[in-house]
A and B are shown apart, each in its own frame.
Chain A
Amino acid sequence: MTQAELANLREMGDEDTLKGKYLIFTMDQELYGMEIRYITEIIGIQPITEVPEMPAYVKGVTNLRGKIIPVMDARLRFKKPEREYDDRTCIIVLDTNDISVGLIVDSVVEVLTIEEEDIAPPPEIRKGGHRYIKGIGKAGDTVKLLLDCAKLLTDDEVDALNDLP
């Protein structure tokens, strides 16, 4: 997945063309999907400046061509074990509600179209368990956990305070 491809996709698209398209990335064996309209670009891992007094999942800030954006580690965000970054590690730059945030994931796989009827709501296991999962998409023989981008960035005020060192 190069940036040019992504840009192409975005250019093609008013909302309709982008609808149903998901960027698939991996994290700790699982496949996750994220709606492509939230994504501005994908970059390789780059130097990150730590910011003190932030929850652990906020790795710090990085310089995106002169623009300073915060970066969070998706693994830590979902309370999974941390892992060394390698050359497959990517930062997905999201843009929701005019907030730009980088999301560090293990690797990016592909862009898939998942039809509405192939998306199942997350099963009710326990209260609050699926806060960031919007649905489960089926494509081919695998399932993808579809993330709710907006919630990822906003629905964490309480968490953030609890996570403070």
Chain B
Amino acid sequence: MDNGFSREPMLDIFIYETMQNIEQLEVSILAGEKANRLTPDTVNEVFRVMHTIKGSAAMMMCDNIASLAHSLEDLFAYIREEQLENMECGQLFDLVLKSADFIKLEMEKVKKGVELDGNPAGLIAGIRECLHTLKGEDTDTGALETGETPPAAQHYYLPAQKGGKNHDKKTYEAVIFFEDGCEMENIRAFVIIHRLKDITSDFRHIPADIVDDGESVDIIREQGFTIYLKTSKGHEELYDFFMGTAFVRDLTLREVPEDDLWGDSAEPADLTLEDSPLKIPSLADQSLGIPGQVDLGGFQQNIISVDVQKLDKMMDLMGELVIAEAMVTQNPEITALKLDSFEKAARQLKKITGEMQDTVMSIRMVPLSASFRKMYRLVRDVSKKQGKEVDLVLTGEGTEVDKNIIEHISDPLMHLVRNAVGHGIETPAQRLAAGKPRRGQVVLEAKGAGSDVLIVVRDDGRGLDKDAILQRAVQRGLLGKPAEEMTEEEIYNLIFLPGFSTNEEADEFSGRGVGLDVVTKNLDAIGGSVSVESTPGVGTTTILKIPLTLAIIDAMNIRVGTAKYTLPTTSIKETFQARAPDLIQDPQGEEMIMVRGEVYSVLRLHETFAVQSDYTNLTEGIMLMIEQDGKCRCLFADELLGQQQVVVKALPSYLKSINNVGGLAGCTLLGDGSISLILNVGGLLGM
């Protein structure tokens, strides 16, 4: 990527597909590792993925990725040819996973548009060595000594029945010139060869080595790309076939006497084969042998990938539309009038915008499965490193959340799972001693709950050590109140405070000094929350509560004095008018209200936000009971203005820099163009 490629669509697709392929690869490798054997399916999969990556990486001029993929492809081609199933595969899996990591890293660089400077030489050497070892063990076939292909590989471009006459086939010579300046002639030639395999297996071409030989580009440019082939297809069909390839400028196609096909070449084709016995035949396999790919093609036709920015733009516009709709239908000049047909039309409009909004939102919804599946790898790495045996169980991974939210929870999830395996689960010996099954279990579960999604990370490990947490919190001065007064839950939740980490020594996986406060920070950013429950010796459960979406919420508008505020409807439990006998005041002047036998504290919004209000008597205005995370409180406001869908906008960053108001979550535009402040329920409960 040294030539200043911009992020063009082709590059995007390359990145997208490669990442998908790598993820798929990891899944099958991990499955293989679990079974501790290499099934033909896995081999095919690795082979297919590496082949695809090699091709596209070469096309995008990511040479280091291409060469790594190439060597892995060689290795697996060999394994497949020889059908080596009962072999020591631990090392092999490691190699593949490391290579996958390398490619992922390089892909990140591609994304950022920086130069690909990773050097895969070490990995490639490892892969080569592995290949040599395999070949050394496998002397029976003798395939290597002779450099010839095993008989099984019929699909060579130098066919086994080379000398045999096949009378209904004719021999052609095709000379192809590509358009000037189309670049990467060798790759384009490669594409033709690839396609050619669909119609014939009898062919050879000059130059013979188009992929690895850098000079082949020049040869093709100057002398054209010459193919000799034998096929039963007619002249016209062939002509169409070649001209159907992109960038072909000129084609000379003629029938030649059969002997020309193999006879007059200066360089016998066998030589090429000896150089790289496994590379080209693998291609034939690729196009002929793997049905999965065909299926995939059919599947992908129904899906298009769209730039997220476009979706964001669409979302913004949708928000504007919702506001504009309210501006029209709730226009003060109209509401005074009685307009039957207008109202009918307005209802229709409302219905359609509503549906459209749902659709736009659903487009942005992404299943959690991708984030969840990544954890398999993490669990494997951590448990292997620490000598633990851990199973990861995923449930509800199909649950969908907004794309923005996914980005924010990947890191927290990683931390939590890493902690669960690293700190939670005991070693097999400890587990057996405690009378637990040898293998630990980490459950990652997602489920919907109203407008929230709960993500639960549960392990059956040793549980949290309450005393250790307390001790650490005291050491670090994190305790807000005397230790004796803290409930168990409060103590457990201390672990999410910044600067808390019970693991003394930081290791590669757990406790890199960042700690779990990353979890809280990320969740705060999206309006989520986290809580933890634990039973010593039985396990720990961490629950992340995240909103389904950030952008448009159902909300209740309230008025306090002249100010308007907005509350998410989902956090309002009920609204009612207070009766004088239910009101209580404690000696400190704290006001409380009794509702159905429960006492709740009252927060006067006009006092909190220093607004002039005519309603100061609690029995005159309206009470709103709000709830979040099991905590309840009553808010006192002047009146309810009504329910509406609002588009959440952030408060201007300038205001946040002056004073980050805890009670406010953002602001929104009301139908009449005025601004309403959205109250932060969590913040109000903490006041």
- Among B301-309, B526-534, B667-675, which stretch is in contact with chain A? B667-675
Closest to A153 in B: B654
Give the interface SS of chain B, mostly helix, strand, loop or mixed. Answer: mixed
Report Cα–Cα, A58/B657, bound state, in Å.
Answer: 12
- In the complex, which residues of chain A have a beta carbon less than 8 angstroms from the beta carbon of B654? 70, 99-101, 153
Within A48-104, which residues are at the interface with B (CB < 8 Å)?
49-55, 58, 61-63, 66, 68-70, 99-101
Residue in contact with B652 in the complex, picked from A53, A69, A157, CB distance below 8 Å: A69
Closest to B669 in A: A63
How many chain-A residues does the 8 Å CB contact rule pick out? 26
Q: Are B659 and A164 in contact (CB under 8 A)?
A: yes
A160 interfacial by beta-carbon distance below 8 Å: yes
Most buried by A among B320, B651, B654: B654
B676 interfacial by beta-carbon distance below 8 Å: yes
Kindly provide the distance from the CB of B297 to the nearest chain A CB, expressed in whole angstroms. 43
Given A51-B655, A58-B658, A99-B654; A66-B320 close (CB under 8 Å) = yes
Q: Are B674 and A53 in contact (CB under 8 A)?
A: no
Q: Are A160 and B652 in contact (CB under 8 A)?
A: no
Residue in contact with B610 in the complex, picked from A49, A52, A58, A160, CB distance below 8 Å: A52
Given A53-B661, A160-B658; A99-B653 close (CB under 8 Å) = yes
- In the complex, which residues of chain A have a beta carbon less than 8 angstroms from the beta carbon of B62? none
- In the complex, which residues of chain A have a beta carbon less than 8 angstroms from the beta carbon of B669? 63, 66, 68
Q: Are A68 and B661 in contact (CB under 8 A)?
A: no
Given A61-B652, A100-B652; A68-B659 close (CB under 8 Å) = no
A140 interfacial by beta-carbon distance below 8 Å: no
A156 interfacial by beta-carbon distance below 8 Å: yes
A165 interfacial by beta-carbon distance below 8 Å: yes
Given A66-B320, A69-B652; A54-B659 close (CB under 8 Å) = yes
Kindly provide the distance from the CB of B173 to the nearest chain A CB, expressed in whole angstroms. 62
Kindly provide the distance from the CB of B552 to the nearest chain A CB, expressed in whole angstroms. 15
Residue in contact with A52 in the complex, picked from B564, B611, B649, CB distance below 8 Å: B611
B299 interfacial by beta-carbon distance below 8 Å: no
Q: Are B667 and A52 in contact (CB under 8 A)?
A: no
Residue in contact with B674 in the complex, picked from A49, A51, A54, CB distance below 8 Å: A49
- In the complex, which residues of chain B have a beta carbon less than 8 angstroms from the beta carbon of A69? 652
A129 interfacial by beta-carbon distance below 8 Å: no
Within B601-631, which residues are at the interface with A (CB < 8 Å)?
608-611
B677 interfacial by beta-carbon distance below 8 Å: yes
Report Cα–Cα, A100/B669, bound state, in Å.
Answer: 18
Q: Are B661 and A49 in contact (CB under 8 A)?
A: no
Report Cα–Cα, A98/B672, bound state, in Å.
Answer: 27
Residue in contact with B563 in the complex, picked from A49, A66, A70, A164, CB distance below 8 Å: A49
- In the complex, which residues of chain B have a beta carbon less than 8 angstroms from the beta carbon of A123? none
Q: Are A51 and B320 in contact (CB under 8 A)?
A: no
B664 interfacial by beta-carbon distance below 8 Å: yes
Q: Are B652 and A52 in contact (CB under 8 A)?
A: no
B448 interfacial by beta-carbon distance below 8 Å: no
A128 interfacial by beta-carbon distance below 8 Å: no
Give the interface SS of chain A, mostly helix, strand, loop or mixed. Answer: mixed
Q: Are B664 and A51 in contact (CB under 8 A)?
A: yes
Q: Are B663 and A70 in contact (CB under 8 A)?
A: no
Q: Are A51 and B661 in contact (CB under 8 A)?
A: yes
Report Cα–Cα, A101/B653, bound state, in Å.
Answer: 10
Kindly provide the distance from the CB of A158 to the nearest chain B CB, expressed in whole angstroms. 11
Report Cα–Cα, A35/B303, bound state, in Å.
Answer: 52
Given A49-B667, A49-B675, A55-B659; A61-B651 close (CB under 8 Å) = yes
Kindly provide the distance from the CB of A85 to the nearest chain B CB, expressed in whole angstroms. 16
- In the complex, which residues of chain B have a beta carbon less than 8 angstroms from the beta carbon of A70? 652, 654-655
Kindly provide the distance from the CB of B351 to the nearest chain A CB, expressed in whole angstroms. 24
- In the complex, which residues of chain B have a beta carbon less than 8 angstroms from the beta carbon of A53? 609, 659, 661, 663
Report Cα–Cα, A160/B660, bound state, in Å.
Answer: 12
Given A54-B658, A58-B655, A70-B655; A49-B676 close (CB under 8 Å) = yes
Report Cα–Cα, A101/B323, bound state, in Å.
Answer: 23
Closest to A60 in B: B675
- In the complex, which residues of chain A have a beta carbon less than 8 angstroms from the beta carbon of B563? 49-50
Given A49-B563, A53-B661; A63-B673 close (CB under 8 Å) = yes
Report Cα–Cα, A15/B667, bound state, in Å.
Answer: 35
Report Cα–Cα, A46/B649, bound state, in Å.
Answer: 20
- In the complex, which residues of chain B have a beta carbon less than 8 angstroms from the beta carbon of A160? 658-659
Q: Are B658 and A68 in contact (CB under 8 A)?
A: no
Report Cα–Cα, A63/B649, bound state, in Å.
Answer: 12
Report Cα–Cα, A11/B376, bound state, in Å.
Answer: 56
Kindly provide the distance from the CB of A66 to the nearest chain B CB, expressed in whole angstroms. 6
Closest to A52 in B: B609
- In the complex, which residues of chain B have a beta carbon less than 8 angstroms from the beta carbon of A66? 320, 323, 669
- In the complex, which residues of chain A have a beta carbon less than 8 angstroms from the beta carbon of B653? 99
Report Cα–Cα, A69/B661, bound state, in Å.
Answer: 16
Most buried by A among B657, B659, B667: B659
Report Cα–Cα, A101/B652, bound state, in Å.
Answer: 9
Within B558-574, which residues are at the interface with A (CB < 8 Å)?
563-564
- In the complex, which residues of chain B have a beta carbon less than 8 angstroms from the beta carbon of A61? 651-652, 655, 667, 675
Q: Are A51 and B673 in contact (CB under 8 A)?
A: no
Task: List the 7 closest pairs (A to B, CB-CB), nearest first.
Answer: A52-B609, A49-B675, A70-B652, A160-B658, A53-B661, A99-B654, A70-B654
- 14 new A-B contacts, CB < 8 A, other than A49-B675, A54-B661, are A49-B674, A50-B563, A51-B677, A52-B608, A52-B663, A52-B677, A61-B675, A68-B649, A68-B667, A68-B675, A70-B652, A70-B654, A153-B654, A156-B658
Sample 29 A-B pairs with CB under 8 A, ordered by A number.
Answer: A47-B674, A49-B563, A49-B667, A49-B674, A49-B675, A49-B676, A49-B677, A51-B661, A51-B664, A52-B610, A52-B611, A52-B661, A52-B664, A53-B661, A54-B661, A55-B658, A61-B652, A61-B667, A63-B673, A66-B323, A66-B669, A68-B652, A68-B669, A70-B652, A99-B652, A99-B654, A100-B652, A153-B654, A161-B659
